[in-house]
Amino acid sequence: MTVQVDGYGDSAVLVTVRGGSQEERWRSTHAIATALRHHGHPAVLDVMPTYDTILVEFDCSLAHPADVTRTVHAVAADASPWAPDAGTRRFAVPVRYGGEHGPDLESLADELGLAPADVVNLHANRWYRIRCIGSPAGAPMTDGPDLPAPVRRLATPRVRVPEGTVAVAGRQANIYATSSPGGWRLLGRTPLRLFDVTADPPFPYRPGDEIRFFAIGDDEWSAYAGERLEAADDHGR
Amino acid sequence: MTTAVEIREPGIAAVQDLGRIGFTRYGVPVGGALDQYSARVANALVGNAQHARLVETTAMDFGFVPEGDVLIAVTGAVATVTLDGVQAPMWRPVAVPAGTHVSVSRIRVGYRCYVAVRGELAADEVMGSCTPDAGLGIGGMLQRGERLPLRSGFAMFDHPYLRHPLLRPDVTAHRLGSPWTIDVTDGPDTAAFDGWTEAFYRAGYTVSERSNHVGLRMTGDLPEPSYDTELLSRGVAVGAVEVTPSTELLVLLRGRGVTAGYPVVAVATSTAQSLLGQVRPGDEVRFRRRSVDEAVTAYRAERSAVDQLETRMRALFQQLRIG
């Protein structure tokens, strides 16, 4: 695998890991991001790993992009392998699919030539590895369910997607841990609370952890409402 | 000493600082004053740290009454600043006696003004910053009648040195107004727009009404990428000029979501990002290509000038024994 570092304006560089399998690139990406954070370059403001890229943001009044690029290459060459399996936590997320909580379930099923129940069955009851935390705040981003085609985003994003909404786009899936505008397709919503601004960290999962969704009915909503999402015990519930 | 500032005409205003830095890996946007240059200068002019809390007011008339004597500075867009109806200068420290009605009105060239008050404005913080974030449930627009507590050692004075022209702080307002020239460097996907770059730099883009602190949407001669436009989500920097599948460019501001999948044709330089915080819907924008070295040099010069202003003002306040 190789590490490519490209300029991204005067105050950021974009690191791309190339070669190997998708899984290997993802692990290497997070290994490098972890190493960069621990390295603690004084000009670096943030290190944002996703699937196979890292955005490194810095204050260019303190360091030139060329310096940061050199640092990234040096740190990447020395980075320890990243092994999330040790201490991987698993989260089971109850979801009320469709209806007002999942306004795109039917239209998406229609586009894919499936019944809504098929889409639910493909999304639920399997483990997804959290690839990175993205936007909006605290969104656990994973590979998407095994749908017959990539999911098209909305041409015009919704002004507000309620927090807890479970969504898909392209070949990805996530949960809107906080409410925000959004262009992803909405399948359902969890009554659990994912994001607590007073906690540190404000959400309980990390890249490398796993999530599983399971369907609940309207009558079960209040039992979960407002409860925090917590890691499952060994039985995965 | 604790006093307070009472909001009379709330306009569209909020307590801001320079942002919530270091949390993009939590998906938390940096936020903070959209015109960072004006915010830093406003704070420096009153002898505050550059990252101190201040008020950002957008477009509409804003007015307040301090309950105690305060020292303020107003920077940003061209506006009319009055104290009990009498015009006061912008880009200068201004002493305001208790009970005076301060008005920042008729914002007309540019979009936002910054009002710094010597001392510490009270505000809740989350992750080290008071910058409003609806998703995090922090901060919000100021309301009519709201009292902002202020910790300040300032006491009213009138010193001939402060009225002497030689001692007026040497500070430049940046050049505001449509058509805007926004400096950009190449972005990560610039090569995919090969063949379109000339048109991109010649074109004028019109800022849409659907713009906000998340990003400026612009219509015009849209570049077309030579490959499929939806990429996997990856980190995006403030200032990224994205080419979306709709008929618009999207230039990301400090409220931007930290990941996106649209190709980035160029990236606004750090100095240009402060200008972007002053661009209004309906304005025209042109992009000018800069090298990374030119962009870094320009930003360092700007930061250095503000640092020098901060140092001079603090020394001055100390010499004049201004609290």
Instruction: Give residue B204's region: left, alpha or beta (phi > 0; psi -120 to 50).
Output: beta
| pLDDT of B5 above 70 | yes
Q: Which residue has the higher pLDDT, B53 or B256?
A: B53
**Alpha-carbon span B308 to B311, nearest angstrom:** 5
Candidates B201, B186, B220, B204; CA nearest to B288 is B201
| pLDDT of B26 above 50 | yes
Check residue B279 and report its DSSP letter: P
| pLDDT of A86 above 80 | no
Cβ within 8 Å of A, B 65-124: none
A14 in Cβ contact with B234 (< 8 Å): yes
Q: How confident is the model at residue B161 (pLDDT cuts 50, 70, 90)?
A: low
pLDDT digits (tens, 9 = 90+) for B203-214: 999 999 999 999
**Would the ipTM clear 0.90, i.e. be above it?**
yes
Instruction: Give residue A94's region: left, alpha or beta (phi > 0; psi -120 to 50).
Output: beta
Distance from CA of B299 to the nearest CA of A (A): 7
Instruction: Please state at what angle helix A22-39 crosses helix A65-78, rounded to 10 degrees.
Output: 120
Residues of B in contact with A136 (CB under 8 A): 27, 135, 257
Largest CA distance in chain A: 58
Check residue B207 and report its DSSP letter: E
Beta bridge partners of B62: B104
Residues of B in contact with A180 (CB under 8 A): 134-135, 257
**Alpha-carbon span A213 to A142, nearest angstrom:** 12
Beta bridge partners of B215: B252
Which residue is associated with the tokens 């979501």? B257
> What is residue B144's predicted lDDT score, i.e. its pLDDT?
98
> What is residue A200's predicted lDDT score, i.e. its pLDDT?
82
Candidates B13, B30, B10; CA nearest to B21 is B30
Residues of B in contact with A49 (CB under 8 A): 25, 235
Evaluated on CA atoms B192, B198, B202, B203, the torsion sign reads negative
| pLDDT of B166 above 50 | no
Candidates A177, A214, A1, A5; CA nearest to A95 is A214
pTM of this prediction?
0.92
- When pLDDT is averaged across residues B90-106 and rounded to a whole number, the result is 95
Residues in chain B: 323
**Count of CB atoms situated within 10 Å of the CB of A92:** 19
> What is residue B28's predicted lDDT score, i.e. its pLDDT?
92
- When pLDDT is averaged across residues A102-116 and rounded to a whole number, the result is 97
pLDDT digits (tens, 9 = 90+) for A2-25: 999 999 999 999 999 999 999 999
Tokens of B207: 């800022």
Q: How confident is the model at residue B127 (pLDDT cuts 50, 70, 90)?
A: very high
> What is residue B163's predicted lDDT score, i.e. its pLDDT?
58
B24, with CB counted inside 10 A (0-12, 13-18, 19+), is: buried
Evaluated on CA atoms B315, B270, B55, B279, the torsion sign reads positive
Residues 6+ apart with CB under 8 A from B36: B18, B273, B274, B277
Using the beta-carbon criterion (under 8 Å), do A57 and B187 form an inter-chain contact? no
B90 in Cβ contact with B74 (< 8 Å): yes
- When pLDDT is averaged across residues B237-255 and rounded to a whole number, the result is 90
> What is residue B319's predicted lDDT score, i.e. its pLDDT?
87
Using the beta-carbon criterion (under 8 Å), do B233 and A153 form an inter-chain contact? no
> What is residue B233's predicted lDDT score, i.e. its pLDDT?
78
Distance from CA of A29 to the nearest CA of B (A): 12
| pLDDT of A144 above 80 | yes
3-state class of B141 per DSSP?
Answer: coil
**Alpha-carbon span B274 to B76, nearest angstrom:** 10
Beta bridge partners of B260: B234
Mean pLDDT of chain B: 91
In degrees, rounded to 5, the angle at the alpha carbon of residue A180 between the alpha carbons of residues A179 and A184 is: 105
Residues in chain A: 237
Residues of B in contact with A6 (CB under 8 A): 188
Instruction: Please state at what angle helix B292-319 crosses helix B36-45, rounded to 10 degrees.
Output: 20
3-state class of A194 per DSSP?
Answer: coil
> What is residue A1's predicted lDDT score, i.e. its pLDDT?
87
